[in-house]
């Protein structure tokens, strides 16, 4: 890894990749400033918004009115929900959302939630994804207003935690440590987020193949 040394204190540190920093900033801000684009992370248009007409083709609409597009780079089709769309439109058993969310918040076991709410595991996991999407939408709606607000000097408290994640395959039983950094405004107590060093867009198989080709698999941390 490339390193640099400070001429004043002689401290050495690892240089950060500008590309990596830009990608991380994009990942963290994507929910606050969403731009509909090709969902394939390996596509050249992954971060090219749909209003760039030279890169996308309108491809009709979905039954609930979402505009469908076709990416001219990879050929993938995807839909973009219109503003103001009812988030529970066409959702089955939406009346149980409040009960399911309360049970999840109170740390009730998954199987017990299914029994209490009388839903299948598939419906429960769909609701978990739905709650996550709604929480991110609420967060984005609030934090977009920060740009127009005036503040005096702010003090932000930061805390870091490491989480041990169980192995996901029998062939590799090593535990994975996921690091997370929480940040909050000291005066108001507003929590900006608990951000992990996990990118859900990455494919484990592709990352391992690239690491093997680069010779990183034999390196120790």
For residue 111, how far is the Cα from the chain centroid? 26
Other CB atoms within a 10 A radius of the CB of residue 196 amount to 13
The count of C-alpha atoms lying within 13 angstroms of the C-alpha of 28, restricted to the half-sphere facing its C-beta, is 15
CA-CA distance, 78 to 83, in Å (whole number)? 16
CA distance 114 to 117: 5
Dihedral, CA atoms, 138, 110, 164, 169, nearest 10 degrees?
Answer: -120
- Report pLDDT digits (tens) over 108-149: 999 999 999 999 999 999 999 999 989 888 888 888 888 888
29 and 140 in contact (C-beta within 8 Å)?
no
pLDDT digit string, tens, across residues 143-189: 888 888 888 888 999 999 999 887 777 777 778 889 999 999 999 99
Residue with tokens 């408290």: 157
* 5-19, 51-65, 102-116, 148-162, range with greatest mean pLDDT: 102-116
Write down the pLDDT at residue 142. 85
């Amino acid at each position: 890894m490339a390193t640099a040394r400070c001429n004043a204190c002689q401290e050495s540190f690892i240089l950060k990749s500008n590309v990596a920093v830009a990608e991380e900033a994009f990942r963290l801000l994507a929910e606050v400033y969403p731009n509909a684009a090709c969902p394939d992370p390996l596509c050249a248009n992954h971060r090219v918004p749909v209003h760039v007409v030279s890169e996308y083709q309108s491809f009709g609409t979905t039954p609930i009115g979402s505009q469908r597009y076709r990416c001219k780079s990879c050929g993938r089709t995807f839909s973009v929900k219109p503003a103001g769309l009812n988030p529970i439109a066409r959702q089955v058993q939406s009346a149980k959302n409040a009960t399911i969310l309360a049970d999840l918040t109170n740390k009730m076991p998954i199987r017990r939630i299914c029994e209490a709410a009388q839903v299948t595991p598939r419906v429960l996991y769909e609701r978990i994804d739905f709650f996550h999407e709604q929480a991110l939408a609420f967060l984005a709606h609030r934090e977009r207003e920060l740009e127009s607000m005036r503040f005096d000097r702010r003090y932000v408290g930061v805390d870091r935690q490491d989480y041990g994640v169980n192995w996901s395959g029998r062939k590799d039983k090593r535990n994975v440590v996921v690091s997370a950094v929480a940040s909050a405004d000291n005066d108001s107590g507003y929590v900006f987020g608990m951000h992990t060093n996990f990118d859900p867009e990455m494919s484990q198989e592709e990352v391992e193949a690239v690491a093997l080709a680069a010779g990183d698999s034999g390196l120790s941390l």
